[in-house]
Amino acid sequence: MAAEPTSGICAGRVVVVTGAGRGLGRAHALAFAAEGARVVVNDLGVGLDGSGASGTPAGRVVEEIRARGGEAVAHGGDIATAEGAQSLVAVALGSFGRLDTLVNNAGFLRDRMLVNLDEDDWDAVMRVHLKGHFLPLKHAAAHWRAESKAGREVAARVVNTSSGAGLLGSVGQGNYSAAKAGIVGLTLVAAAEMSRYGVQVNAIAPAARTRMTEQTFADTMAAPPGSGAFDAMAPGNVSPLVVWLGSAASAGVTGRVFEAEAGRITVMEGWRPGPTADKGARWTPAEAGDAALKLLESAERPQGVYGAR
């Protein structure tokens, strides 16, 4: 029996989710469909390190959505290429006639300590996470700007996927942390640039049990089926916030970063000016050092980097 939408908060909207064949992306796609959205399910079907490719994961999610009475189509293009990103937008428009929400989620890991991190591993992770956010956002934004300039009302939403590693750093993940930090910067710029066209852009820093985090959460077992217990690390726990951010109900919320884990939602507050000193003239190195040490005494201590002792 098809699952009924719980509220229909996304009824009539067309939503694109990248990396939606498994894990968080799959959970987002199913959740959007359950709320009445028509979904474009993008996934290359690559391995955890980005190797290989298969259209099977995206197709399976499309079948799940259709079996529950929803509408979905698969897209197997590489969204870290201009051609793949353009075709992603084209599939949404060609299949459903519009595009309302873009959820950038695709990614993989190639973890190494910095001294062991190859240039290829750096480039590959930067490409899929950072370029894989930029290109779909660019082409979706161009469509929405054209719609706005043509006098049509736009209530578009973008949800980017950062990480705690991008906010605090994570030992052994220099490439991933840098890419996820870059996504926050991209989110802030896009929110500022696109607001005039009716586009809101936010980011999440999720924590859940997926292929990418199975070692991190190895000790956090899933709740037994039928037990009724809350599975704190289930990917679906993150999706309700993503669905709301991707809906018209989130009007007025843009340029924000949210951490989402289990039953907790946190608004993350980024860099803000802290203690300051102004000499009114150039410092000597010794004076600058003395001033910096005094300022640090009254500054808040940063949170620790993940994995640091």
- Overall number of domains in the chain: 1
Residue 50: the pLDDT is 45
* Mean pLDDT, residues 44-67: 76
**pLDDT, tens digit, for every residue of 152-164?**
999 999 999 999 9
Sign of CA dihedral 131, 134, 136, 142: negative
Q: Poorest-confidence range of 225-229, 261-265, 282-286?
A: 225-229
DSSP string, 108-176: ----B-GGG--HHHHHHHHIIIIIHHHHHHHHHHHHHHHHHHTT----EEEEEE--HHHHH-BTTBHHH
| Average pLDDT score, the chain | 90
- 6 belongs to a structural domain: no
Q: How far apart are CA 214 and CA 233, in angstroms?
A: 10
What is the predicted pLDDT for the residue at 173?
Answer: 94
**Is residue 281 included in any domain, yes or no?**
no
Residue 60 within any structural domain of the chain: yes
In this prediction, residue 5 carries a pLDDT of: 45
Q: Is residue 244 part of a domain?
A: yes
Within a domain: residue 304?
no
Residue 221 pLDDT more than 90? no
Q: Average pLDDT in the 40-44 region?
A: 95
Q: Is residue 303 a part of any domain in this protein?
A: no
Residue 164 is predicted with a pLDDT of 93
DSSP per-residue codes, 237-260: GTHHHHHHHTSGGGTT--S-EEEE
**Considering only CA atoms, which of 145, 35, 130 is closest in space to residue 89?**
145
pLDDT band of 222, cuts 50, 70, 90: low
204 versus 2: which is more confidently predicted?
A: 204
Find residue 267's DSSP bridge partners.
Answer: 258
Q: Residue holding tokens 């995206």?
A: 58
Indicate whether 1 belongs to any domain: no
Among 90-99, 129-138, 152-161, 298-307, the range scoring the smallest mean pLDDT is: 298-307
Q: Report how far residue 167's alpha carbon sits from residue 271's, in angstroms, rounded to the nearest whole number.
A: 10
d(CA 162, CA 234): 18
Residue 1: is its pLDDT beyond 70? no
Residue 132 belongs to a domain: yes
Band of the pLDDT at 109, cuts 50, 70, 90? confident
CATH number reported for the structural domain that contains residue 125 in this entry:
3.40.50.720
Helices (H) and strands (E) in the chain, counts: 9, 8
Find the domain containing 112 and state its range. Answer: 14-268
* pLDDT value of residue 153: 96
Q: Hey, which residues are catalytic here?
A: 163, 176, 180
